[in-house]
Amino acid sequence: MSNNIPGKDIKAHPRPFPEWRVKPGDREEDAAYTFGYHLIVHCRDEAMATVPHNASPEVKATAEEAVDIALHNVNDMLEGFWKLEAGSQHTVELALVVRVRGADGNLVEAQEISPSKLDLPIGYWKWAKDRAFR
């Protein structure tokens, strides 16, 4: 369980962009770790921080499970795990692109990390439970 402080207890921070690995698969993975870090710190940790500090362990565990299911399922949707319908004759596919911008705001690089690229749902559990982003 997180200690209700966003960004605390990170075991391995994602690589800074200048240190991303060169090989294409590795580079996509570094981009995914960066996404995962921000998903955990800005979504999971902040959601868990809303649980009252005096809540029972059972309430805290239930809240953590609900947050994890929701965020894991977002990753499943991004990976194409479910058929997403847009009416009876069409489906939609969700794509996640990590865009790196320089200090001037200009696009430096873009890495598409889903769908069906890196298995984000498996990565989610490493990010959420191990708090490791490398």
The answer to whether residue 76 sits within a structural domain is yes
Render pLDDT for 16-45 as a digit per residue (tens, 0 to 9).
999 999 998 999 999 999 999 999 999 999
47: helix, coil or strand?
A: helix
Q: Record the pTM.
A: 0.89
pLDDT of residue 1: 41
The answer to whether residue 88 sits within a structural domain is yes
C-alpha torsion sign, points 30, 31, 36, 38: positive
Distances (CA, A) of 93 to 34, 45, 90, 98, 124: 22, 28, 10, 17, 20
91: helix, coil or strand?
A: strand
Total domains in the fold of the chain: 1
The answer to whether residue 68 sits within a structural domain is yes
Among the listed residues 124, 130, 116, the one whose alpha carbon sits nearest the alpha carbon of residue 39: 124
